[in-house]
Structure 1
Amino acid sequence: MTAELHTRRNILTTGAAVAGVAVGTVALAACGSDSGTAAAPAAAPAAGATVATLADIPVGESMSAKTADGQEIVVSRPTETTAAAFSAICTHQGCTVKAAGAVLNCPCHGSEFDALTGAVKKGPATSPLPSVAVKVADGKVVTG
């Protein structure tokens, strides 16, 4: 007899290894990517489009907005005369962050970002929100 006999030990060892690989693959798929770049950066919005009115944003706070082409952004007001804007797409796994005064909250996994700088204040996100170019013109916050 030249055929190798399958022992109970060989079958159990092979079955356990296959099950371990399957469980590991499912666990990794469930976690998704946490490389800090959950989604590819969106294209820059068209310049000159109004996204907010400076008077609608208290100094030191922020508000949610959309660009003319539909990109979700957050506009903040660091000082009386300046504005800053960031993508509203969380860098952890791509959920839309919500403006809450001086903090931007991700409702999916609890990440928090500084509304005035886009910096991560609390993970699991590890990368800041990408900035969106804006300027103040005649009391309006415009892209570009």
Structure 2
Amino acid sequence: MTYETTRRTVLLTTGATGAVALVAACGGGGDDNGSTSTSSPTGQETAGRKTAGRDLASTDEIPVGGGKIFKEEKVVVTQPDQGRFKAFSAICTHMGCTVTTVSDGTINCPCHGSKYHVADGSVAHGPATRPLPAEHITVEGNSVRLT
């Protein structure tokens, strides 16, 4: 009889200590059916995450002093000042939740209350201690594009 070893099987049989180490080493692989997220030669990820070169929004969709969250791309685009656009990861650096709102000059995580400044992604209120990582965008005419 032949048995196929999957990540789930290994996790179930290695015990708590081994499972924690294995999970930490696995971060970002695929699921148990063998699918994975891979990058193409253009830098685009193929599993529905960030897609380089894709138009995200028109500039008038991003409020001055606020921003807009693009859940599928896991990116938040802000406009701290008129005509100045910034982009950050929408994944909270505290526990990995996705931020859900942008208001009163901050990007807000619902899980534990972390807030980040729209101007630079720095922590405005913990428990997060690290800023949101910057993402690359270009603004051409009235179009905001993930690059």
Shift, 1:56, TM fit: 1.1
What do the CA deviations read for 1:9-58 (whole angstroms, capped 9, x no partner)? xxxxxxxxxxxxxxxx9xxx9xxxxxxxxx87xx8744321112110112
State which of 103, 110, 114 in structure 2 corresponds to 1:111.
Answer: 114
Would you identify which runs of 4 or more consecutive aligned residues in structure 1 move more than 6 Å?
Answer: none
Measured in 2, the distance between the counterparts of 1:97 and 1:79 equals 21
User: Equivalents in 1 of 2:113, 2:73: separation in Å?
Assistant: 22
1:108 to partner: Cα distance? 0.7
Structure 2 equivalent of residue 131 of structure 1: 134
Higher RCO structure (Cα 8 Å, ≥6 apart): 1
**Helix, strand or coil for the counterpart of 1:83?**
strand
* 44, 62, 81: which one aligns with 2:67: 62
Which AA in structure 2 matches 1:55?
Answer: D
Give distance in 2, aligned partners of 1:121 and 1:106.
11
* 3-state SS in 2 of match to 1:63: strand
Q: Give TM-score, length-normalised by structure 1.
A: 0.63
In the aligned structure 1, how far is the partner of 2:138 from the partner of 2:101? 19
Taking only the aligned residue pairs, the percentage that are identical comes to 40
1:28-107 equivalences under 5 Å are 45-66=50-71, 70-101=72-103, 102-107=105-110
Q: Which whole-Å CA distance do the structure 2 matches of 1:71 and 1:57 have between them?
A: 16
* Distance (Å, rounded) in 1 between the aligned partners of 2:78 and 2:58: 11
**CA positional deviation for 1:60:** 1.5
Looking at structure 2, the residues matched to 79 and 135 of structure 1 have their Cα atoms a distance apart, in angstroms, of 16
Cα distance in 1 for residues equivalent to 2:143 and 2:57: 6
2:90–2:98: 8 Å Cα contact kept in structure 1?
A: yes
Who wins on radius of gyration, i.e. which is larger?
Answer: 1
Cα offset, 1:115, TM superposition: 1.7
- TM-score (structure 2 length as normaliser): 0.62
Deviation at 1:91, TM superposition (A): 0.2
RMSD: 2.6
